[in-house]
Copies of this chain bind each other. A is one copy, B any other.
Amino acid sequence: MASRTSSPLIHPDVDDLDLFKIMSALTDETRLTIVVTLSVSPGLACSGFTQDVTASVLTRHFRVLREAGLIRQHDIGTRRINTLRKEELDQRFPGLLDLVLKESVGRVKPYVNDECA
């Protein structure tokens, strides 16, 4: 099956992960919600991830997260699968992601949508 896009999806290597880029990415509530959701629903693929923003805005948020090294994206047919790079993040910045997830409680909730695959 043809891939969703012909342009390659760029992911930073674990050694190139930038703490400040990661922190900047996490200061946005929509992006934080995506990260929290992926922490409980690995491999989520859903164009209607949240109802509060347009598809193009959502695409930009996913790109920021990918370029910061927080998530990995790969295409299966027309679906773009998103996973949290938890092991690599834990390796590079031990404790950071757990701290972020802990502190996100009460601030954002994982997105739940029965239509999500």
Contact = CB atoms under 8 A, between A and B. Distances in A.
**Interface on chain A toward B: helix, strand, loop, or mixed SS?**
helix
Interface residues of A, number: 16
Nearest to A93: B99
A77 interface: no
A23 B18 CA distance: 13
Contacts of A46: none
Contacts of A27: 20, 23-24, 27
14 contacts: A19-B99, A20-B26, A20-B27, A20-B32, A20-B107, A23-B24, A23-B26, A23-B27, A24-B27, A27-B27, A94-B95, A95-B95, A96-B96, A96-B99
